[in-house]
Amino acid sequence: MVLMDMEAEERVRRDDRAHVFHSWSAQSKINPMPVAGGEGCEFFDFEGKRYLDFASQLVYTNLGHQHPKVVAAIKEQADRLCVIQPSFANERSSELARMLAELAPGDLNMAFFTNGGAEANENAIRLAREATGRHKILSAYRSYHGATHGAIALTGEPRRWASEPAISGVVHFMGPYTYRSSFHSENEEQERDRALAHLEEVVMYEGPQTVAGIILEVIVGTNGILVPPDGYLQGVRELCDRHGIVMILDEVMTGFGRTGYWFGSAGFGVEPDLISCAKGLTSGYVPLGAVLISQKIADKFQDKVYYGGLTYSGHPLACAAGIGAINAMKEEKVVENAKMIGDDVLGPGLRELQKKHKSIGDVRGRGCFWGVELVKNRETREMLVPFNAAGPAMGPVAQMTGEAMNRGVSLMAHWNVIICAPPLIITPDEVKRALSVLDEVLEIADKAAD
């Protein structure tokens, strides 16, 4: 641990600015904060100032930083075998694939390993296309599925625009969002029924015989933590069954305990044909993703070749991190903790804040996955900052996250939604600390509201 090493900080900052090309940024407009290290739910800078990570980085450090069991699993595997190419079987990928089959819902018995979430989605849509012989994929607006060419085509929000025309055959539809219903619904039941009727109509007009797959985030993540109404995902399942369409659930964020279940889909009692996952699979310690494949889809490739592959598929070091992470989560009852935090501390705490702060329009989530939607006016529900806000347009929300950072809490915001997604190992006291800072900085939002 290097603390108060201002020379190191200066060097990191200088080399970063000169040579690191950052994601999703105009390079001259950013000033990335040098981070010296992390421990548990916190990370710290070179002056030793600690920040409670209320976003789990990009919603992936489910076990927090430097979990000793995951670090040990990586070290042990590094000493034995760092890498072997994917046409060989290896101890770690076979063990992890078996563990995933045991944890996944239904008969998702096979795993195809990737390097991350976007590649998991690329391969999920390729599997759906090759299994059905059809080409179209239906995907929701207000979704993020990754930044490779196919995954960004699936993505239903402005991050896609610069990559267009991306892959062909992707059709977008509106998913459920009761608070801002596209269907003028007044309650969850109406929203469920109307969103399903809309999807059915899209399928009909596209021609069901042309549709290979429908992909959905279980709970929409960066686009606002949108929890589907009860029965919506089952309705999509039925629609897929009726038309021979592959149901793909993107569990890149919702997987590995995030919602208080090993897989978010289990919390809704739905069994998809394919699950894409990444992030929490290794808590991000080594990049790894996977597509979990139902027996029915896997059987299509018993005699037929699957035309897809990656140099590092089944990478032993990454799979060792996955095994270490899953074992640590089981031994320390981390998924149970995530559920308890959501049910007893974070959910109720955010609802209390909603009573007190007029700028909070809606609070929604499960487990350690919550969204606080900020509005200018509760009656009109006008967003506190507009659709696709960035830079100066983020105004009060940027001020809030900046001020929270000054007070030692790292918050994530997407336009007018504050995303609260702490590591699943977080304690009630740590949650209360973050809630009290959130309470303070919400004054900024209240002042900007009517």
Ligand X SMILES: Cc1ncc(COP(=O)(O)O)c(C=O)c1O
Place of tokens 């609260």: 420
Minimum distance of ligand X from residue 334's CB (angstroms): 20
**Amino acid at site 148:** T
74 or 278: whose CB is closer to ligand X?
Answer: 278
Minimum distance of ligand X from residue 364's CB (angstroms): 16
Alpha-helical segments (H) within 290-427? 295-299, 316-331, 334-340, 347-356, 395-406
252 or 417: whose CB is closer to ligand X?
Answer: 252
277: left (phi over 0), alpha (psi -120 to 50) or beta: beta
Minimum distance of ligand X from residue 272's CB (angstroms): 14
Interface residues toward ligand X, by CB under 6 A:
58, 116-118, 121, 144-146, 217, 221-222, 250, 252-253, 278
Cβ(232)–Cβ(192) below 8 Å: yes
9 or 250: whose CB is closer to ligand X?
Answer: 250
Q: Report the candidate in 48, 146, 120, 61 with the shortest Cα–Cα distance to residue 368.
A: 61
Minimum distance of ligand X from residue 288's CB (angstroms): 9
For residue 191, report the phi and psi dihedrals to the nearest 5 degrees. -60, -45
Minimum distance of ligand X from residue 246's CB (angstroms): 17
Say what the alpha-carbon torsion angle 414, 415, 417, 422 is, to the nearest 10 degrees: 20
Place of tokens 């270490």: 324
253 or 363: whose CB is closer to ligand X?
Answer: 253
| CA angle, 181 then 171 then 179, to 5° | 10
Exposed, middle or buried by CB within 10 Å (0-12, 13-18, 19+), for 133?
exposed
Distance CA 86, CA 92 (A): 12
46 or 60: whose CB is closer to ligand X?
Answer: 60
Minimum distance of ligand X from residue 321's CB (angstroms): 14
61 or 354: whose CB is closer to ligand X?
Answer: 61
| Nearest position to ligand X, beta carbon | 117
Minimum distance of ligand X from residue 220's CB (angstroms): 8
Place of tokens 């409670």: 52
Displacement of CA 100 from its chain's centroid (Å): 18
97 or 253: whose CB is closer to ligand X?
Answer: 253
111 or 345: whose CB is closer to ligand X?
Answer: 111
CB atoms within 10 A of CB 29: 8
Minimum distance of ligand X from residue 200's CB (angstroms): 24
Distance CA 120, CA 256 (A): 15
